Amino acid sequence: MVVWRGALAGVLWLLGCAGALAAGLPDFPALVKRNAGSVVNISSIGKLAAATEPAADDNSDDGDEDASPDAADALGTGLVIAADGWLLTNRHVIADAEDIVVRLPDRRELPARVIGTDERTDLALLKIDADGLQPATVGRADALEVGEWVLAIGSPFGFEQSVTAGIVSAKGRSLPSEPYVAYIQTDVPINPGNSGGPLINLRGEVIGINSQIYSQTGGYMGLSFAIPIETAMDVARQLRDSGHVSRGWLGVLVQPLTRDLAESFGLASPRGALVSRVFPDGPAAAAGLRTGDVITRFDSHEIDLSTALPPLVGATGVDRRVELAIMRGGKPQTLAVQIAALPDNEPPVASTEPVVTSERPLDRLGLRVAPVPPELRRQLGIPEGGVLVEQVDNSRAARAGLRQGDVLGMLNGAQIRDPDAFDRTLEDLPAGRAIALLVLRRSGPAYLALRVP
């Protein structure tokens, strides 16, 4: 009897919690009714080489034997942004498409033409010949807070007007595919076909365009990413007005600061964006920025993480002058820089397999270094200086990430011109202290932190 009463009490408690939870949930039906009229389904016919999303039966052995081997359907979602037929979607939904068909909420199907695309943000602007459409109500992604409820409408696997909900997991995420977008991360279930659809806040405003998922299976795994609506609308405006998108360019490569790297640069905390390369003809070089500087503020924006800098620079108008706050040698400085236009192709960094050219003994770091071969120097774009790492033993250097074929450009803040200069600098390194090594490799320059044995 006591057990029964305890179980009954538990059931009543659970029911009470469920009721309270239900009473506190957002009014999802109202949000859907407000926004469903702005969401369209997009079908495109293109070559198999097009960047199409996987279909629901990708793992199936069944198929249409009469289907053309040269064409494939791409299904996605689009958002109405103007009543006279302007639509936003993801570029990969319509990439290389020969025909694009837009299905409206009232079941009309209309052909669409591509006004322009932007590969860096994976966005495309489409136009259909229609009037009286329901444009989306646009909000502000920068006003979002982590933990806030959000809702998505799309066509996962071709199922139109599907609705899912979740919360904002993080803001300002930088993905390897595009450092110039500060993505919104959510746990909203997103699957192939949702791409290009809206992410909606509790006020019924579109605050993002669902774009990517992180997945090891091809399906939803709890990590979804949306392009902030401010970025998307700016891209749409530029594509409509000029057919292309221009972005600001500072002319640097940056990387995160670790605790050891911060110590090696004389900083109290690992805050800011560490400059690992300054392009010779870029705005940063003209302003006097150097490799090893740490950018702590860009214009009026504090830089805590290196990933915050590229989106800010990209959103800055070309030819605008901004102030940079930096740390150099542990001391604060300010520089004025005039932002240039981001080149279509930033200078590439290439590498080749090293050739062993010396029989030098291993040094105190567990390295064997040699002069940089002329061909490697040319491919890496190193006019002078540096040493080639020919061998790394199982030492702290290897554990710090140094590997054979790397080129060392700086050691503890000192430029390395040749192996002899490297030896002299090595002799003066203080034991037990964290030092920074500037490493040049195919993926680009990077600082590594190493404690001297």
Range among 56-70, 244-258, 406-420 rated most confident: 244-258
Q: What number of residues does the chain have?
A: 453
Q: CATH classification of 31-53+69-242 is 2.40.10.120, yes or no?
A: yes
Q: Is 92 among the residues known to form the active site?
A: yes
pLDDT of residue 32 exceeding 90, the answer is yes
Nearest of 87, 93, 26 to residue 53 by alpha carbon = 93
Q: Is 122 among the residues known to form the active site?
A: yes
Range among 40-49, 200-209, 347-356 rated most confident: 200-209
Selecting among 43, 44, 118, 122, the annotated active-site residue is 122
Selecting among 169, 195, 264, 306, the annotated active-site residue is 195
pLDDT of residue 63 exceeding 60, the answer is no
Selecting among 38, 43, 44, 92, the annotated active-site residue is 92
Looking at residue 258, its pLDDT comes to 86
pLDDT of residue 33 exceeding 90, the answer is yes
Q: What is the pTM of this model?
A: 0.72
Neighbours of 348 (CB within 10 A): 10
Superfamily of domain 248-341: PDZ domain (2.30.42.10)
Looking at residue 121, its pLDDT comes to 93
Tell me the pLDDT tens digit for each residue of 369-414: 888 888 788 778 787 888 888 888 767 778 888 888 889 888 888 8
Name the band, by pLDDT with cuts 50, 70 and 90, for residue 12: very low
pLDDT of residue 64 exceeding 50, the answer is no
pLDDT of residue 426 exceeding 70, the answer is yes
Q: Which residues contact 213 (CB under 8 A, 6 or more apart)?
A: 190, 191, 219, 220, 221, 223, 224, 225
Name the band, by pLDDT with cuts 50, 70 and 90, for residue 97: confident
- The residues spanned by each domain of the chain are 31-53+69-242, 248-341, 367-451
**Fold that domain 367-451 belongs to in CATH:** Pdz3 Domain (2.30.42)
DSSP assignment of 358-378 equals --PPP-TTSEEEEPPPHHHHH
Of the two residues 396 and 87, the one the predictor is more confident about is 87
On average, the pLDDT of the chain sits at 83
Name the band, by pLDDT with cuts 50, 70 and 90, for residue 171: very high
One fold for both 31-53+69-242 and 248-341? no
Q: Is 418 among the residues known to form the active site?
A: no
pLDDT of residue 218 exceeding 80, the answer is no
Residue 272 CA to residue 306 CA, distance in Å, equals: 6
Looking at residue 14, its pLDDT comes to 43
